[in-house]
Amino acid sequence: MITTTNPNDLVGADVYGDDGKKIGTVGQVYLDPSQNPTWITIKTGLFGTSESFAPLSEASFDDGDIRIPFSKDFVKDAPNIADDGELSDTEEDSLYAYYGNGAGYAGDAGSTNTYDSGSSADHNFDGDTRSAGHDTSGPNTDDAMTRSEERLQVGTEKVETGRARLRKHVVTEQVSRTVPVSHEEVTLSREPITEANIGAATSGPDLSEEEHEVILTGERVITNKETVPVERVSLGTETVTEQQQVSENVAREEIELVDGDVDTSSTSRR
């Protein structure tokens, strides 16, 4: 049997069938007029997108798991009823007819397995306790709405934007230089016979044929190359900061009065 009356303990619990196999997880808990858990919806199907009703009258709750005397296929074939927070008499009767005595309905006197269809807040529990107010469109809340909005949070992260490499290659160019070079040229000089050079002039035969030569010299240009280091080149980085505009859509909730009269006499203005 179910040993807890706190719906918080049941929401999200795993549900196992009579064959020991998992059927699904609890989506919503439906309460009777005495606020006792009576029905649950079990999320089945792919990714839990389908919910089927199952009774708790013959169920047990141990170590956070719910066990019911039905198989998964039997639960999945239960009457298709919208989990909208309210069970009508007709819907509840169809569930009792399907589950039979396993739903705890056998015409017993004083049975409390019926719902007051006038208020969905008396039936449905979806992860919160009942309070002074309730939502007609979903789970119970307090006597006010909470308005929320998205806030844009902007930050930075360091990512790689590119790479730079140094590469060295050889380039050949023509270099011209002007270099002075010298050479010897032949010149003739004539001097008359004097007593100073008469001896050298008459030392040979009186008449003869002869040749006299002189070696001429000159400079020629030679080149030589040497490799010398001229500079060092390296890669570095520097941080440049710039302003960048960021635009993003953010959502917010707005609350407006859609029905009812508002007593403005007690509303303060400032």
Instruction: Please give the pLDDT value at position 46.
Output: 63
Does residue 83 carry a pLDDT above 90?
no
- pTM beyond 0.85: the answer is no
Task: Give the Cα separation of 67 and 269 in Å (integer).
Answer: 57
Say if 269 falls within a structural domain: no
Place 104 in a pLDDT band, splitting at 50, 70 and 90: low
- Given its phi and psi angles, is residue 217 left (phi above 0), alpha (psi -120 to 50 degrees) or beta? beta
The answer to whether 135 and 128 are in contact (CB under 8 A) is: no
Say if 55 falls within a structural domain: yes
What the block records as the tokens of 13 is 């619990």
Instruction: Please give the pLDDT value at position 120.
Output: 37
Say if 246 falls within a structural domain: no
Q: What is the CATH number of the domain that holds 62?
A: 3.90.50.10
Pairing of strands 37-44, 22-31: antiparallel
Give me the phi and psi of 8, to 5 degrees please.
-55, -30
Domain span at residue 14 reads 7-107+114-125
pLDDT per residue over 150-189, tens digit each?
Answer: 998 898 899 998 999 999 999 999 999 999 999 999 999 8
Say if 102 falls within a structural domain: yes
Say if 167 falls within a structural domain: no
Say if 52 falls within a structural domain: yes
The three-state DSSP-derived secondary structure of the chain is CCCCCCHHHCCCCEEECCCCCEEEEEEEEEECCCCCEEEEEEEECHHHCEEEEEECCCCEEECCEEECCCCHHHHHCCCCCCCCCCCCHHHHHHHHHHHHHHHCCCCCCCCCCCCCCCCHHHCEECCCCCCCCCCCCCCCCCCCCCCCECCCCCCCCCCCCCCCCCCCCCCCCCCCCCCCCCECCCCCCCCCCCCCCHHHHCCCCCCCCCCCCCCCCECCCCCCCCCCCCCCCCCCCCCCCCCCCCCCCCCECCCCCCCCCCCHHHCCCC
pLDDT per residue over 25-82, tens digit each?
Answer: 998 988 888 888 889 999 886 655 678 999 998 899 888 899 999 999 999 999 988 8
Task: Give the Cα separation of 267 and 270 in Å (integer).
Answer: 10
Instruction: Please give the pLDDT value at position 267.
Output: 44
Say if 242 falls within a structural domain: no
- How many domains does one find in the chain? 1
Say if 72 falls within a structural domain: yes
The answer to whether 55 and 102 are in contact (CB under 8 A) is: yes
